[in-house]
Amino acid sequence: MKKLADSAVQQFVRVDVILNNAGLMPLSLIDRMNVEEWYTMIDVNIKGVLKGIAAVVPYIKEQKLGQIINTSSVAGHKIFNDSAVYSATKFAVRTLTEGLRMEVKPYNIRTTIICPGAVKTELLEHITEADIQ
């Protein structure tokens, strides 16, 4: 993400906006202990967004202008059966966006969160539990 931001600044002189849209959704019950899937969701859904934020904040803070848009999910507001870990990652994106908003407000930087409901994507293909898929 840093290379992408650096490249954008080299080519276009500035970064005005980033849309962080990172997400995997291998739903399962917690007692099935799919720990590696949890770690992968955390790496993509939370750390992926953090890496995008970290890549652009220095540039847009210096510019005193910019917007960071993060995609969360309605699952970050409402927990559905089998979605505790996924919902936790999407709630984390909500929290990160709100906390970041407070931190970057003095620099005229806006943060936006998008929380779509069910959308037909490849996310269901990541569910390894046949009875949940």
Active-site position among 39, 59, 86, 107: 86
Instruction: For residues 110 and 74, give the distance between their C-alpha atoms in angstroms, rounded to a whole number.
Output: 21
| Strand-pair partners of 113 | 70
Residue 59 annotated to the active site: no
Sheet strands (E) in 53-92? 66-71
Q: Residues in the chain, how many?
A: 133
Whether 20 contacts 75, CB under 8 Å:
no
Strands of 109-114's sheet in order across: 17-20, 66-71, 109-114
Whether 33 contacts 128, CB under 8 Å:
no
Residue matched to tokens 């709100």: 98
Q: Which residues are catalytic?
A: 86
